[in-house]
Amino acid sequence: MTSSKGPSVDPAPTTPGDAAAGGPDFSVDPVRAVAHAFTVDRVWTIPNALSLLRLLGVPLFLWLLLGPEADGWAIIVLMLAGISDWADGKIARALDQRSQLGTLLDPAADRLYIVATLVALALRDIVPLWLVAVLVGRELVLGGVLLVLRRHGYPALQVHYLGKAATFLLLYAFPLLLLAHGENPVAAVAAPLAWALTIWGTALYLVAGALYVVQAVGLVRAARSSAAAGTAS
């Protein structure tokens, strides 16, 4: 929901010892992190509502695109998703409505939209399969990195501003790709703009993913060094 000027984590990871002292151990059980967000964190905020609506729009978008092939309505849903993605972060900062739940919902909605849209566009032969493989592969790699971070007691890293910029570009590239695919007066104009946004968005998405992996590797090495030093002493 909110992006930072760079990826960051909490000063110290949650450990099983913290749980024993009375605090929830989110690093071991991420499901408890979600439950904790619903019970003690602010839930019913405007940014969270926007993220939830964006999530609910995914099946609607897929049905419009793959069922009746109502591309016009599908484009509207995608555009609304892009606008809400921009708006929820702005509102969270303006109204001081940042929340732990929001940090879970916002990137989940973004990634689900991107993956679902890519798969749907590939099934319609609008985008090539290699593009789907590259972007979905990026998500699988980051999913593995997150599991490694959890294993070492670290929470998920905050979303890098490059990742938010990439998401913004892709969410606006996809409806333009739909326009370019159809037989309409703006198709010729939409095509070069759509592919420019797609290429730039994909490049930034990969760069942001690489930065995430680099920082995660640094954190894991630091954790191992600290553990080794503690064992030696």
Question: What pLDDT is attached to residue 193?
Answer: 92
Q: How far is CA 230 from the centre of its chain?
A: 36
Domain boundaries of the chain, sorted by first residue? 16-232
User: CB of 169 within 8 A of CB of 199?
Assistant: no
Question: What pLDDT is attached to residue 233?
Answer: 63
Q: Which residues, at least 6 apart from 149, have a Cβ–Cβ distance to it below 8 Å?
A: 155, 156, 157, 216, 219, 220
Question: What pLDDT is attached to residue 95?
Answer: 65
pLDDT (tens, 9 = 90+) of the chain, 233 residues, equals 334 333 444 444 444 434 444 444 444 455 555 544 444 455 677 777 777 888 888 888 889 888 888 888 888 887 887 787 777 767 767 766 666 665 666 777 778 888 888 888 899 888 899 999 998 899 899 888 888 888 877 777 777 778 888 888 888 888 888 888 877 778 888 889 999 999 999 999 999 999 989 988 888 888 777 777 767 66
What is the pTM (predicted TM-score) of this model?
A: 0.64
Q: Which CATH number fits domain 16-232: 3.40.50, 1.10.1060, 1.20.5, 1.20.120?
A: 1.20.120
What is the Cα–Cα distance from 192 to 98, expressed in whole angstroms? 37
Question: What pLDDT is attached to residue 100?
Answer: 63
Closest CA to 107 of 175, 217, 213, 7: 7
Question: What pLDDT is attached to residue 30?
Answer: 52
Q: φ and ψ at 118, to 5 degrees?
A: -60, -45
Closest CA to 174 of 43, 80, 49, 86: 80
Question: What pLDDT is attached to residue 197?
Answer: 93
Neighbours of 195 (CB within 10 A): 15
